[in-house]
Homo-oligomer: A and B are copies of this chain.
Amino acid sequence: KRRGIPEIIFAETKELEDIRKIIKRTLQKSNSVIVSRLKKTDYPKIQTFAKKLKVKVKTGKKSSTLLLFKKPIKFQGGKVGILTAGTSDIGVAEEARLVCEAMNCKCITSYDVGVAGIQRIFPILKEMIEEDVDCIIVAAGMEGALATLVSTLVDIPIIGIPTSVGYGYGEKGIAALASMLQSCSLGLSVVNIDNGIAAGGIAANIANRTIRKKE
């Protein structure tokens, strides 16, 4: 049995009623469930539904994702750093945070770091190194250069999330994806555009592994 991987419900292509049913069914066999890419109007309705079910909810800033859980989720030692290049990337980053937390990790976040003011990145990375994070997630849109930059500066595994921010040629995250995949800096791997779920999943996996070995 794979431990620590929560159930994910991909809400975008589902009716509200179906989402409710799947939540209910899922919480019967597991302690937590994540609902991702909820329509704006469904978001509060699922929060209300959670109340009715008497399960707890964690939300993310500017995010379309919710974490529902029955018993408190214990922190087990794994730590993940999460950075965003701009404020538009925060929703995706928060999605990753919710997955990490559902998987018993603690997150150190720093949003809106940017490439424009490179000097701002040094104290942030310093803090993450001191916190001894096991993995850093970098969410960035447009040309996505922040992920490359961070991975040239530390030897911590980096997970890049290209975000769909931007317009014109390379829009919808395509430029950021291409540029992260082409990055000539070692130590960076990538998940799909806007896929905070996948980034959180592998980051927590990495962090939890470190912990398990230490035990």
Contact = CB atoms under 8 A, between A and B. Distances in A.
A208 B193 CA distance: 28
A131 interface: no
Q: How many copies of this chain? A: 8
Interface stretch (A46-54, A67-75, A155-163): A155-163
Contacts of A60: none
B148 A209 contact: no
Interface string A107-124: 000000001101000000
Contact of A37 (B152, B167, B199): B167
A5 B170 contact: no
B199 A182 contact: no
A188 interface: yes
Contact of A182 (B3, B12, B168, B180): B168
A58 B18 CA distance: 22
Contacts of A195: 167-168, 181
Contact of A149 (B22, B145, B159, B205): B145
Interface in A128-152: 132, 134-135, 142-145, 148-149, 152
A182 B134 contact: no
A186 B168 contact: no
Interface of A: 2-5, 8, 10, 12-15, 18, 22, 37, 62, 86-88, 99, 115-116, 118, 132, 134-135, 142-145, 148-149, 152-159, 162, 164-171, 173-195, 197-199, 201-202, 205-206, 208-211, 213-214
7 contacts: A37-B167, A115-B185, A143-B182, A144-B182, A170-B181, A187-B205, A211-B213
